[in-house]
Structure 1
Amino acid sequence: MDIWTYQSVEYVTVAGESWLASASEYPRSMRALWESRPWAPTVLPCGRVFDVISMPAVFGRAVLDELWASGPGCGPVASFRGRTLLFVQPGAAPRLRTLLAWEEWAREVPPLLCHGQGDAVTVPPIQRMVDAPVSPGQGAGRWIVAPDSREPWLPGAATVLWACVRASRAKTQPEVSEA
């Protein structure tokens, strides 16, 4: 039996695949590529359908926890080469970069890479082989929250900024023991 026909452990829905493909200048070609090689990572441009905020993996986990604990949650999120890739609204990357430039935020938040118009990012495969190794920082990356709709909710710059600030402050708060 062909290993590519097994049910994937991590996958992007058909609607999510359509959304991702719409970021490409040639969406039909992108979908054809994924049909023939669903396990291959892909490079997609930012700025049209989404921007991407890339952050260190551990900090990214804390930011995701803040996004889910304090409200709206998040849209698609991937892990690639030891970094968390948070998909955000188009235009949010340069806005977040500007907001983070304020001295009061820059001290608390680790360096973030804000990918917007004119940038491109490598996104994980739309499917992962069942037997593929999952080792942090290695391979083609993986989806933490896979795209599952044609119009996923994407956070804006202000939402991401406050999640980053809360995550960095929580990290620096001394633990209080209950006596």
Structure 2
Amino acid sequence: MLGTRRRTRTALWQAVSEYVEQRHWPVTQGTYLVRDGRSTRCSCGRTTCAAPGMHPADPQWSSRATDAPAAARYLWSQSPDSTVVLPTGRAFDAISVPRHAGRRALVRLERMGTPLGPVLATPNGRFFFLVAPGAARELPHLLYQMGWDDAELDLRCHGAGDYIFAPPSPLGLLGAAEWIRPPDGEDAALPEARLLLGTLAYSCHRNSPRAGNGLWLAS
């Protein structure tokens, strides 16, 4: 158990260093599970926590996220088990779809030679495609232009005021987030949402005979 915790801490610290120093992505700390006898509890300390180990640790996370290496090192030196939260709407937005739709779309996009950015998967069954900032604001109009205005798609866009969990962050008892396509290069340009959206929307539509559970946008 102690060895596993050390490896997790090392992996989290290496990830934080990469995101801040190489990618220049703002980071903030997320909660984690704390062993309490034979059970576990959220590090936030609330006994009624609705998402143990799966939310930002600081209520002011958006304004306090940092891309300064010294500040990030200090935060994780104080709380090395903290998961890594990446605010969206700054360095990137993220489009998320169900895992099966994401895998199908990724294969198709790669076959078509579509420029892609990083793609990650979370253990609750979602794929996240990182795209250039502004996607959340443009998404409704883009979908309308593509003829998906009346379609019910389980497709979400995370922009300003939202966040995603970065690999290798453990998400409660579900497992850890992982890269399907890791970030490649410090200055690699992220694709525009419009280049991916048609394929993602079609894959979501195919994923469910009733076309998913509705279109969700980041608040």
TM-score class, shorter-chain normalisation, is 0.5 to 0.7
After TM superposition, list the pairs within 5 Å mapping 1:49-128 onto structure 2: 49-80=91-122, 81-101=124-144, 104-106=147-149, 110-125=153-168
Greater shift, 36-45 or 90-99, is seen at: 36-45
Structure 1: gaps spanning 5 or more residues: 129-136, 173-179
Identity %: 32
Look up the SS of the partner of 1:104 in the other structure.
coil
1:94 Cα deviation from its structure 2 partner: 2.1
Larger RCO, structures 1/2 (Cα 8 Å, 6+ apart): 1
Partner of 1:41: 83
Aligned AA (1:82): G
CA contact (8 A) 1:77 1:84 kept: yes
Distance 1:90 1:72, change over 3 A: same
Find the counterpart in structure 1 of residue 182 from structure 2.
146
Cα distance in 2, alignment partners of residues 121 and 112 from structure 1? 15
**TM-score calculated relative to the size of structure 2:** 0.57
Q: Is the 8 A contact 1:18 1:150 kept in 2?
A: no
Name the CA shift for 1:37/1:87 in 2 (closer, same or farther; >3 Å).
Answer: farther
Root-mean-square deviation over aligned CA pairs = 3.6
Structure 2 distance, partners of 1:157, 1:168, is 15
SS in 1 for 2:130: strand
Change (3 A) 1:23 1:167: same
Corresponding residue number in structure 2 for 1:160: 196
Contact 1:16-1:149 within 8 A present in 2 as well: no
- Change in 2 beyond 3 A, CA 1:36/1:94: same
Q: CA deviation at 1:54?
A: 1.2
Asked if 1:26 corresponds to 2:62, the answer is no
Q: Would you say how many aligned residue pairs link Structure 1 and Structure 2?
A: 161
Relative to the length of structure 1, the TM-score reads 0.68
Contact 1:46 1:121 in 2 (8 A): yes
The residue type paired with residue 106 of structure 2 is: L
Amino acid at match of 2:93: D
